[in-house]
């Protein structure tokens, strides 16, 4: 387990999270992830995450009516940097928190290249299944 540090582009929000990049990352084919080019690392223990600065600068993307999943996408209200997603989906193990890879400050290019990527089929609300096509993600 590694302690990662993350922040938004303007520096208003800072956080730390314990995770293991070598255990994999996720990209998704749902409409939100496609538009945001989201790339996340799921934290093994959602409680091993701490906001260090800028909780007052956090904002949440409004949920669309057709989205039935309990997911909350947080970002910096000042610069717009996507930071993490949290929620509860029984099919993927219940409570979760996933940090955006692009918001992590202490990753080397080599670590990013080596990180396994799982392409999830969120477009069909089946995040536990592989996406049928991934070249566009």
Residue 65 pLDDT more than 70? no
Please give the pLDDT value at position 3: 96
Residue 52 pLDDT more than 80? yes
Q: Where are the domains of the chain?
A: 2-121
Which fold does the domain 2-121 belong to in CATH? 2.170.150
pLDDT category, 32, cuts 50, 70, 90? confident
Q: What confidence tens digit (pLDDT) does each residue in 69-95 have?
A: 688 999 999 999 999 999 888 877 889
Burial class (CB in 10 A: 0-12, 13-18, 19+), 91: exposed
Question: Pick the residue with more confidence: 56 or 123?
Answer: 56
């Amino acid at each position: 387990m590694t302690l990662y540090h993350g922040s938004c582009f303007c520096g208003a929000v800072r956080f730390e999270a314990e995770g293991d990049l070598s255990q994999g990352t996720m990209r998704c084919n749902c409409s939100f992830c496609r538009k945001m080019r989201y790339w996340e690392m799921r934290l093994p223990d959602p409680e091993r995450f701490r906001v260090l600065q800028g909780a007052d600068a956090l904002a949440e993307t409004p949920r669309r009516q057709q989205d039935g999943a309990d997911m909350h996408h947080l970002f910096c209200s000042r610069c717009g940097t996507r930071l993490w997603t949290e929620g509860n989906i029984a099919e993927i193990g219940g409570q979760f928190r996933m940090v955006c890879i692009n918001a992590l400050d202490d990753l080397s290019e080599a670590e990013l290249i080596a990180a396994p990527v799982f392409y999830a089929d969120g477009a069909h609300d089946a995040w536990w299944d592989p996406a049928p096509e991934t070249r566009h993600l």
